[in-house]
Structure 1
Amino acid sequence: MGKIVDIVIPDLGPDKDVDLIDIMVSVGDRVEEEDGLITLETEKASMDVPTTQAGIIKEILVKVGDKVNSGDLIAKVEVEDDNSVAATAPKEQPKQEAPKAASTSASKPIPTVVDASGAGEVKGQVLVIGAGPGGYSAAFRCADLGLQTVLVERHDTLGGVCLNVGCIPSKALLHVAKVIEEAEHISHAGIKFSKPEIDLKGVADYKSGVVKRLTDGLSGMARMRNITVIQGTASFIDEHSVIVNHTKEDKKTVVKFDNCIIAAGSQSSKMPFIPHEDPRIWDSTNALEVKEVPKKMLIMGGGIIGLEMGTVYQKLGSEVDVVIRGPQVMTGTDKDIVKVYTKANEKRFNFMFKTQTQAIIPKEEGIYVEFKGDNAPEPKTYDVVLVAMGRSPNGLKIGLENTNVEVDDKGFISVDNQMRTKVPHIFAIGDIVGGPMLAHKAVHEGHVAAEVIAGHKAYFEPKQIPGIAYTFPEIATAGLSEIEAKEAGINYEVASFPWSASGRAIASDVSGAGLTKLIFDKDTDQLIGGAIVGDNAGELLGEISLALEMDCDAEDIALTIHAHPTLHESVGMAAEIFHGSITDMPNAKAVKK
């Protein structure tokens, strides 16, 4: 008879009382090492817990519905004497040769046994620099493909700018702003609320709680994948090693790698004429702290970040001016889409189009700003100036001069369609390689880089990259804009469905600020682009994105039955307009009698 070994829940990090949702084995089953035993569900994800021993299941000590924690006993396994090892004891790892760059097969992952935070040297088959959405996705994919992975992140928690001081906290604050907005506008329907009492600490705590829930989940998933995580900033020593300066400690760690994925992201652009050292000059990170609500705020730039944060602060009580160099907000977005947004926000913001700041002078009473341009107002004094004039890549800040990786003077890294740089075993993804600076683009690029390193034939060749402004109303786009179609010389036709003809939009009181627009190639009837402006536009964009990827034509979309009444059916109706089968509004293509 063999020995009985206890199998326990591995380290779950900060997660407590995790739900056990499935048991994959029964008493008497034979299991091999790494076979799944149970499935747990945390707030972030579901995860399988494997057995650390091969043998026969003799006893199962948990049941579906239990709340479990790190170290809890799961089962007892009978193992052969020569296979018997305490389940919780670290196992000696077999020596294995690290795969060459872009090898045709991936080796089994080596569980991390090095405390990277205090070690002088760490080795990995893959090093990922930056743990934003692209970076952590690349690292997780590498680990899942059997590669020993090291992940370096400068923030206290995984998630990068997006999760810590970008996409996620801003959406939490926009949710708060949306609730205020809806409460203010429901009085005409017989529901009246008093003016909201705003507790800024409560708002900030809510935002921080959202971030913590997600970052804790990422940390747990990194542990489950045996990824070595080092907190600090990395700089290349040569083409096979970096030095990491630890963020919180006076320590340095050398990381040696066979392959590297650079996902070092970007940062808010700094303008030389702006006194950024003054605490009343904010960037988006400062704005997300919600420590105060300035009475008067100036937003420099008519892009997405500034308009989103301006929306938040306007709902919290600020008077907001927006200075815009050009004739419209969101440069590059089609005029008919922007027109709907601008009209809906005429009372929210004081837009100053074709205007620039000429001088920004900190004074005791506030930030004194002088303007120039076609519509320049008299000088004004603001409590806060939010600088939202784009982002700059970090390619010039990570020691790439010590490698042959090609970087331009702005900091963008040159890559091919496999995300490979000029150095074959070094890859780059995300903001740092150019194109739209969007988390979801970086995620897909990260998957490609990881799969190429593991020997798979993977390429980043998307037919569309969706973009969303989470403003009120939202603007969502995919594929070509009308501007781009015209510049490309395409014989195109636009089909737009106004939400004023949508039953759901009218019932939901969002019909006044909504439009669904599809762009078709007139020669082939194929969809080449689309845009939606309106409530929850981002949630409606998925069909357009999929239709573009699948090369759908107008008939494919128009003949797809869409649920009624929904805002989503506006996509189908826009296709019907082009197809000539629309019945919910006058049909310009109807047969004339």
Structure 2
Amino acid sequence: MTNCDLVVIGGGPGGYTAAFRAADLGRSVTLIEADDRLGGVCLNRGCIPSKTLLSVAEKIESAAAATEMGVAFGAPTLNLDALRAHKDGVVNRLTTGLAGLAKRRRVTVLQGTAKFTGANALQVQTPDGSRMALSFTQAIIATGSAPITLPMLPDDPRIMDSTGALALQDVPARLLIIGGGIIGLEMAQVYHALGSEVVIAEAGPQLVPGADPALLSPLTEALKGKVAVHLTTQVSDVRAEEEGLWVCAGAQDLGRFDRILVAIGRRPRGAEIDPAAAGVTLTERGFIPTGRDKRTSQPHIFAIGDVTEGPMLAHKAVHEAKVAAEAACGEKVEFDPRAIPSVAYTHPEVAWTGLTETRAKAEGIAVKVTSFPWAASGRALSAAVGAGTSRLILDPSTGRILGAGICGANAGELIAVAGLAIEMGATAEDLALTIHAHPTLSETLAFAAESFLGTLTDL
């Protein structure tokens, strides 16, 4: 039995942040990760490789769009090996950096799969099959999530999840993506830019569930003629044959595809570490309930990230990680954000934070929605990104900013301004009176605020 002080289970953004923060506060930390390198899904098989490929796709699309500005380029030549090497190089550089940060902080990193065997005990199975027993004083669970699968699909290597899609084994002539959420749309634009004919089958009534439908207009317009989108379409049967994968959605025949990407969401992986053995409870959906200080039903065990309720986002996990680490070290802290941003890194990007118009209607919250079209933005037009919009969700009586949404170039960067405004309790007047540089895309948020105040002169 190896005795440990603080154990962190999972080395993704939440896990390594918790480990590093606790080490900075003087704790002896053991970090357990099943993979051979830190970073979790986000760094190794998610956020970072997908954004690398999206950056390549954006360059291809920008070059094609440049003809409208009087500059013509030749057709792109795709070197798949070089593209994979570039993607892997970005990941390797970041994971190597994490290993260095762990070493500098004297965090002990163990590779293996952990399971609780008691309230203060773990068993870790290492890659060589051996088992080691650990005792601990405190633990932080950060085991993340895994893709949801469809059991009705045949067992066929041409059917892949997001990990397989990012491996970029080939560029299929015809690709079906089941699911029109953020992952599905991002991969749709990557594979379309690389040369695939892409079809999306989304079971729900809109793309990007969670975003306000009105916010998505510039994106849905941009997809026309590039990606075929079928809403309220649930795949019911897939027949695997040598010449391809034949797909039906009820009575609708979607045709033959060379590959299928299943992108219907993710599930928490909390149950995989046998939390019941430690006295940690799970919800019916498999999440670990926590308080605002991220303590579970066992006060000395914390949980963060995708294994807890809330959006499955790396930046949420990172902030929860710091709260858990600091609480474990005796500090009085809470995770109580007013706004958590969500971003689809599509072209154009879609970002929103705080209260949405859809949620306000569902909960009977009175709001005023104002917007500013990027077609009236000098910066957007000069950069040829005029298809966009900036929206604010406001308290009609006080003008307080409750939520915001942006669809357009660099929306993921711009939404931080709105997030800060919400956290600070700022009003439309605060935002409108903040002098923004001109011409910039950021001033479109100020224009939306001026629209609420009745002082807008740019429309």
**Letter aligned with residue 357 of structure 2:** E
Q: Choose the corresponding residue for 1:433, options 304, 308, 316.
A: 308
**Could you tell me whether the CA contact under 8 Å between 1:328 and 1:338 is conserved in 2?**
no
Q: How many residues align?
A: 459
Q: 1:346 & 1:155 partners in 2: Cα distance?
A: 40
Corresponding position of 1:517: 391
TM-score, normalised to structure 1's length?
0.76
Deviation at 1:379, TM superposition (A): 4.2
Deviation at 1:410, TM superposition (A): 2.6
Is residue 401 from structure 1 mapped to residue 276 from structure 2 by the alignment? yes
CA apart distance, 1:340? 2.0
Q: Distance in 1 between matches of 2:254 and 2:294?
A: 48
Larger radius of gyration: 1
1:370 aligns with 2:267: no
Choose which of 209, 214, 220 in structure 2 pairs with 1:342: 220
* Residue matched to 2:173: 295
Match for 1:259 among 135, 138, 149? 138
Instruction: Show the counterpart of 1:533.
Output: 407
- After superposition, what is the alpha-carbon deviation per residue over 1:165-210, rounded to whole angstroms, capped at 9, x for unaligned? 0000000000110110101110122211111110001110000000
| Structure 1 equivalent of residue 298 of structure 2 | 423
Task: Confirm or deny: 8 A CA contact 2:153 2:238 kept in the other structure.
Answer: yes
What is the CA deviation profile of residues 60-114 of structure 1, one whole-angstrom value per residue up to 9, with x for unaligned ones? xxxxxxxxxxxxxxxxxxxxxxxxxxxxxxxxxxxxxxxxxxxxxxxxxxxxxxx
State the alpha-carbon separation in 1 of the partners of residues 253 and 365 from structure 2: 45
Partner-residue secondary structure (3-state), 1:468 = strand
- Cα root mean square deviation, aligned: 1.0
- Provide the rounded CA distance (Å) in 2 between the counterparts of 1:314 and 1:383: 14
The residue number in structure 2 matching 1:90 is none
Q: Could you tell me how far apart the structure 2 residues matched to 1:400 and 1:454 are? A: 22
Return the alpha-carbon distance in structure 2 between the equivalents of residues 564 and 339 of structure 1.
25
Q: Does 1:176 align with 2:56?
A: yes
Paired with 1:575 and 1:289, the residues of 2 have a C-alpha distance of 43
Residue 69 (structure 1) aligns with: none
Q: Is the partner of 2:180 in helix, strand or coil? A: coil
Q: Judge conservation of contact 2:120–2:278 (CA < 8 Å) in 1.
A: no
Query: Equivalent residue of 2:211, what SS?
Result: coil
- 5 Å-filtered alignment, 1:19-98, equals none
| Corresponding residue of 2:84 | 204
Give the superposition deviation at 1:282.
0.6
Structure 1 CA distance for aligned equivalents of residues 399 and 72 of structure 2:
48
Aligned-residue identity in percent: 48
**2:210, 2:299 → 1: CA distance?**
35
Q: Matches of 2:357 and 2:4 in 1, distance apart?
A: 47
Structure 1: where are the runs of 5+ without partners? Answer: 1-120, 586-593
Alignment partner for residue 475 of structure 1, among 328, 350, 354? 350
Aligned residue number for residue 125 of structure 1: 5
Partner residue, 1:152: 32
Question: How much has 1:335 moved relative to structure 2?
Answer: 1.5
1:284 aligns with 2:156: no
What residue identity is the alignment partner of 1:260?
A
Work out whether 1:462 is the aligned partner of 2:341: no
CA contact (8 A) 2:175 2:258 kept: yes
Alpha-carbon distance in 1 for matches of 2:45, 2:160: 13
Could you tell me which of 348, 356, 379 is aligned with 1:504?
A: 379
Query: Which deviates the most, 460-469 or 250-259?
Result: 250-259
Higher relative contact order (Cα pairs below 8 Å, separated by 6+ residues):
2
Asked whether the equivalents of residues 13 and 42 of structure 2 are also in contact (C-alpha less than 8 Å), the reply is yes
Aligned to 1:551: 425
Instruction: Write out per-residue CA displacement over residues 457-502 of structure 1, whole angstroms, 9 at most, x where no aligned residue.
Output: 0000001101100011100001000011122222211110000000
Q: Which runs of 4+ in 1 moved over 4 A?
A: none
Larger displacement relative to structure 2 (337-346 or 547-556): 337-346
Q: Secondary structure of 1:123's partner?
A: strand
Give secondary structure in 2 for the equivalent of 1:312: helix
Matched AA of 2:26: G
- TM-superposed deviation, 1:524: 1.4
